[in-house]
Structure formats: structure tokens, C-alpha cells
């Protein structure tokens, strides 16, 4: 089975749909390269639950991990978020800005 581009986007949207996973990304945004223990300090959940959420984020390629001794450090990968922005957000943003520009021109009589 070949991977369609939307399969990757589906994984990103699924990962971002959960508030805990968004919180994990926020924690990594504040300080990238945290261990599971460090991330769990900012969460009210067991390590096993946090590990499952991190696995979904990693499967969506939103985070990557690097081993440092016995620790596994987690890092944000912004590329999938940028791809979602380019595919799903930017086109709507451009349309809205164009409408606002045209309205401004009409109201100002230019």
C-alpha cells in the first residue's frame, strides 16, 4: 500500500486533535529536547500515557527523538506543521486578505 500525501496530513490532524498532545508540543516549544521525565513534570498523567501520546506525535512526524545515554530526548519537527499550513491555512488566509484589500480600495474610492 502506497502512502498518499493526505495520509501524512491525516496523521498530523489526528495528533493535533488531542489537547494533551498539543500541550506536549507547547512544552517542547518552550524548551526543546526534553526527556519523558521532564515532560511528565508538566502533565498530570502517568508516564505510560505520556509515552502513548508521544508515540502518536512521533508517528505523525511532529517530533523526533535522540538517545542520550539511557534518556530519550524529544524534539519538535516543524515541517509537518508547515506543510499543513501551506496546504490548509495559507490559501484561506490569502483569499481573506485579498477580500480585505479589495474592500479597502472600494471604500477609499481608489
Q: Tell me what pLDDT residue 19 has.
A: 96
Q: Tell me what pLDDT residue 3 has.
A: 52
Lowest mean pLDDT among 10-19, 23-32, 36-45: 36-45
Calculate the alpha carbon distances from 71 to 9, 28, 36, 52 in Å.
29, 16, 8, 17
**C-alpha cell of 18?**
488531542
Q: Tell me what pLDDT residue 86 has.
A: 87
Instruction: Quote the pTM value.
Output: 0.78
Band (pLDDT 50/70/90 cuts) for residue 45 is confident
**C-alpha cell of 29?**
516549544
5-77 belongs to CATH 1.10.10.10? yes
Amino acid at each position: 500500500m502506497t502512502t498518499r500525501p493526505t495520509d501524512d496530513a491525516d496523521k498530523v490532524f489526528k495528533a493535533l486533535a488531542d489537547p494533551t498532545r498539543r500541550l506536549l508540543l507547547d512544552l517542547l516549544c518552550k524548551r526543546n529536547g526534553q526527556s519523558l521525565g521532564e515532560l511528565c513534570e508538566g502533565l498530570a498523567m502517568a508516564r505510560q500515557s505520556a509515552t502513548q501520546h508521544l508515540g502518536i506525535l512521533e508517528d505523525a512526524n511532529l517530533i523526533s527523538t535522540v538517545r542520550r545515554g539511557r534518556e530519550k530526548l524529544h524534539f519538535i519537527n516543524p515541517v509537518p506543521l508547515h506543510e499543513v499550513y501551506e496546504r490548509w491555512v495559507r490559501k484561506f488566509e490569502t483569499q481573506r486578505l485579498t477580500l480585505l484589500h479589495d474592500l479597502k480600495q472600494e471604500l477609499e474610492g481608489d
